[in-house]
Structure 1
């Protein structure tokens, strides 16, 4: 029976891979979970190892002397301040870990290495992308584009597997929905706190992001569904040496999700939540100016922050007939409410303290929530539609409703005493 190593075992995606494998002890009798600190109580077939993936290959090898496996799931990464730092640090993270397994002799038994990356593969952090996103889309390489550490990791993995005669698989999830306390990319926690505080303050729920994005489309990834995909892909012959998009299978918009969030937390959506922004937003759509818009005293007046000087879709614009189209101009992040500043307001802090004491939930959750990430996700002014056709053709049939996965993440946060029921 195969055994597995999961690196990054306490992250929002790695955590679920550990639990997914552990649910099938007859198929996965031993799962080695690797992380710097222990945050979970794992099932009996999971062995937790405290290991610093930032250490050298030789130091990691000393910690992994008796660890053997047939399948490696690499879901670890570190977020740095610049793209070049991300490239350097995360590349070293992966190459040193793989070399450590060579040093211990564990690599001799390995059949396949699965690398978890993300839709940053397509430049979703830079601006408007070509839709739908396909695994065959060209990489954004060359001096005109910033470094993308996912490219570095994939190149390292492919070269390593070619040298050592191993198979590989790569996943591209997007806007992950799941539970992992304090994780950098945790949408559910920040949304739950925002809605809970809004209710406590007796206010209506205002969408804090771009008015335009409210009616545009996004593709989400349930961390649980992603884990199921990883367990399937590790053993599936058709998944060998291939990269796959891994999203829920539906395409959602916040005009559908936001009222459901409001109902879930017993608040009402502000009926005219975009009315005060109408004039300024019309100007953004018409001119697509990168300069910040001014507030003029209205706290819901949108502000605009430019993204990269040219969006990813511009790379293929001539070949698809989009040259000169407005979508090829610089994209923006447009926010009605600055969530980072909102979370630092005294009335918000006081409201959360009241909630925490009354409902016995984590008071530090307000500061641990990833407000900047939620702001980014909600403030884009372009669609993100991700195709699952390649995975379907390879035999993958998994699907989950995105609202149900978000609702499930809220429930998990409640059960763990992070947000109020």
Structure 2
């Protein structure tokens, strides 16, 4: 595996900053969710399009991840929360030359959240079925284009609203995955977001903007 590019970037900044008047701050989010079209790393969009197509096909909403991922603990980062943290880190002197984990502040399991997502989309759930979305959704572009016309959706290409490879990546985490956000809280950043509410708000935004039916 190659090294993480963002670690190299921080190392570069640390070296460049020595003896300089300017400072840097690094923020380390979890999976960032928000409204974005054409973003290849948008899990909320993955779920929304997957659920919308499942409904169009009359299928239940199955969790597609690896065995174990459905029951593992994980966390997310709301894009708005990350924006607030960015302003905070840039204006709080104690954040100079520091790195911070920035997450919503809660943990969840897909086995608890997935049925609520299905309910939002008016779908039944079924037992998890491990599959690669990048494969099973590859032939759904024609169906999506028909859905755009049928439901009067915004004219976004299938490519711009699907990032199946990233969904496969996140849904493969069959282990607990979360970070320690104590450092940011200790220095005064106390914002948090309820992850379930975050997803529902993002889905509402997708509907309002005619991205999904």
**Coarse TM-score class (shorter-chain normalised):** over 0.9
Residue of structure 1 in register with 2:147 after alignment? 355
Q: In 2 relative to 1, CA 340–363 (structure 1 residues): closer, same or farther, beyond 3 Å?
A: farther
SS of aligned partner of 2:63:
coil
- The residue correspondences of 1:7-406 to structure 2 (distance < 5 A) are 146-270=2-126, 273-274=127-128, 300=129, 336-345=130-139, 348-362=140-154, 364-368=156-160, 369-406=162-199
Partner residue of 1:419? 212
Give the gaps of 5 or more residues in structure 2.
none
TM-score normalised over the length of structure 1:
0.48
In 1, Cα distance between equivalents of 2:169 and 2:194: 22
Give the secondary-structure state (helix, strand or coil) at the position aligned to 1:164: coil
Deviation at residue 224 of structure 1 after TM alignment:
0.3
Q: 1:365 to 1:191 in 2, by over 3 A?
A: farther
Question: Deviation per CA, 1:69-124, whole angstroms, max 9, x where unpaired?
Answer: xxxxxxxxxxxxxxxxxxxxxxxxxxxxxxxxxxxxxxxxxxxxxxxxxxxxxxxx
Query: Which of the pair has more CA radius of gyration?
Result: 1
> Highest relative contact order (Cα 8 Å, sep 6+), 1 or 2?
2
8 A contact 1:362–1:418 mirrored in 2: yes
Q: Secondary structure at the match of 2:62?
A: coil
Count of aligned pairs between the two proteins: 212
Return the alpha-carbon distance in structure 2 between the equivalents of residues 203 and 364 of structure 1. 24
- What RMSD over aligned residues (CA atoms) do the two structures have, in Å? 1.6
Q: Which has the higher helix share?
A: 2
What secondary structure is seen at the aligned counterpart in 2 of 1:367? helix
Give the deviation of 1:152 after TM superposition.
Answer: 1.3
Is contact 1:365-1:418 (8 Å) kept? no
User: How far apart, in 1, do the equivalents of 2:206 and 2:90 lie?
Assistant: 29
Q: Which runs of 5+ in 1 are unaligned?
A: 1-144, 275-299, 301-335
Alignment partners' CA distance in 1, 2:74 and 2:46: 18
Deviation at 1:340, TM superposition (A): 1.0
